[in-house]
Structure 1
């Protein structure tokens, strides 16, 4: 059956239920004359009168009553199903894939997802821990996490974390044998725990800034790791100096297990941002996640 016939039957059902061309026309948002012509055309195609018309009322004939009993419940079922589809749309669902380094995955994403996922059981999130600055478009990932200064200009970025600071730390046992460095350059005389990141093509140079003066120091030492946990544990064991986000070290510093040095050379810098392609059509699930992760201050 054509769409036109469906529309005609729906129009007939409304007229028969309302028992008025005037009320039915208003409900269907059409003119009374157009609606009357639609019903007349239906009767002519079927070869039978469906409505009895008087100057004051409209009522279904026996054939009209039979047709109404047949089609009206079907249209009600369709309307109910469409309403159910709208309900599904209002309860976002889908899988979102995010690539992020170990630190933002643990300190930002994990906490943020825990806040909103319980309210949206239809949303699934996959976190891919990646230490490189991967191409999310080429990798088929929905979004990535980077420091604000690392987000490409052609990406949309939403801030999801506060400003950050780095910390250089060592154990009391280490400093019992070595003098504390007073400048970043003096780190070259220390046993430093190196960081290997694929993005930087090798060992990461420790970055410092003071009064607008930036310094990068390539340190040396007996240990090289590509994650934070091993660097922290090695520093606690007195095996060298470690360079890491300060939030991982603050509790140990406060409790005396680690000693911080070069603090005046570790200035704050823009924190983590969720980024995604500007041409990406954001699904309701993705939009809700971005809003839930968005940083709104302390």
Structure 2
């Protein structure tokens, strides 16, 4: 295989993964016109169309999908082996890309990342804050941070945070107008504040557990948001009962701005985990970050 073949294949893979010549060109650090020429040259040499182009989108053809399925793992393996050569260096280097929720990024990732960058100036870290569940392989992240039940089975998951609990809360003003619910079934008579899931676009079903009873309830109300601070504003203003992780509401409960109900239906559950592909060889820099996160979890 000629060296140009690898360059052309890598260019095609970037466009197929990004579904955009513009984003792929930015990722590769080349002009859009040069990238388009490279892909056309590859299609001409192979004698098959690899990408379907319209004015609004770019997508792999059937032949392109087959090539992506083979190229993706192969290039990941090459990249992993090149990164592993960093073990021969005196000091770790390279870039670590992680996707995480805002709360986990600020409370769990940042303390470890700060120590890593201070001790190893040649290590670069990029944190993408996003509430949605990202495909870390397709989007070329080294790892992600999410709750344990949302981690795919083919990933290695490392616990980096404490147990969490959900909390059903509303303002004293709301409960002055509505009797506090005693059982989950009482929520049917209440105004509730819904959380719109960023990943699927669906409304979050409230999960309530006690002993051998496991309930998933759909609630109704006047206000819905995919943004936790907005849900908190609505709850404080008396627009219904909200259901959020307790670290978001503990200050409001302590100050009396919000009142907690159904506490015996909200047991602890496993908190945030860092996950990464089981087949990917961790780089020395990533291994250092993993050790720092484990240390933080123990503390």
- CA apart distance, 1:188: 2.2
| Stretch of structure 1 that moved more, 273-282 or 149-158 | 149-158
| Residues 169 and 258, structure 2, Cα contact 8 Å, conserved in 1 | yes
SS state at 2:196 partner: strand
Aligned-pair Cα RMSD in Å:
2.1
Specify the alignment match of 1:270 in structure 2: 270
**Equivalent in the alignment of 2:131:** 131
| Other-structure match for 2:204 | 204
TM-superposed CA distance for 1:199, in Å, is 3.4
**CA 1:233 to 1:118, structure 2 compared with 1: closer, same or farther past 3 Å?**
farther
> How is 1:232-247 mapped onto 2 (pairs within 5 angstroms)?
232-247=232-247
DSSP-derived class of the 1:197 partner: coil
Superposed displacement of residue 148, structure 1: 1.7
Stretches of structure 2 lacking an aligned partner (at least 5 in a row): 1-84
**What is the CA distance between 1:127 and its match in structure 2?**
1.6
Aligned counterparts, 1:1-298, within 5 A: 89-294=89-294, 295-298=296-299
Say if 2:102 and 2:129, in contact at 8 Å, map to a contact too.
yes
Structure 1 residues 167 and 277 mapped into 2: Cα distance closer, same or farther (>3 Å)?
same
Post-superposition offset of 1:187: 1.6
How many angstroms apart in 2 are the aligned matches of 1:233 and 1:201? 21
Supply the distance in 2 between the matched residues of 1:212 and 1:92 (Cα, whole angstroms): 49
1:162 shift after superposition: 0.8
C-alpha distance in 1 between matches for 2:119 and 2:282? 19
Per-residue deviation, residues 224-282 of structure 1 (Å, max 9, x unmatched): 11121111222122222111110111121111111001110001111111000011121
State TM-score, norm by structure 2: 0.67
Q: What is the Cα deviation at residue 151 of structure 1?
A: 1.8
Distance 2:141 2:232 in 1: 30
Structure showing greater radius of gyration is 1
TM-score (norm 1): 0.67
Contact in 1 for aligned 2:86/2:92 (Cα 8 Å):
no
1:282 and 1:176 map into 2 onto residues whose CA distance is 55
The change in CA–CA distance for 1:188 and 1:111 in structure 2 (over 3 A counts) is: farther
Structure 1 runs not aligned, ≥5 long: 1-84
Tell me how many residue pairs correspond in the alignment: 214
Instruction: Please state how far the C-alpha of 1:200 moved relative to its aligned partner.
Output: 4.2
Contact 1:167 1:246 in 2 (8 A): yes
Report how far residue 146 of structure 1 moved.
1.8
Q: Give the Cα–Cα distance (whole angstroms) in 2 for the partners of residues 224 and 286 of structure 1.
A: 38
Provide Cα deviations, 1:119-138, integer angstroms capped at 9, x if missing partner: 22222222222222222111
| Conserved? CA contact 2:86–2:283, under 8 Å | no
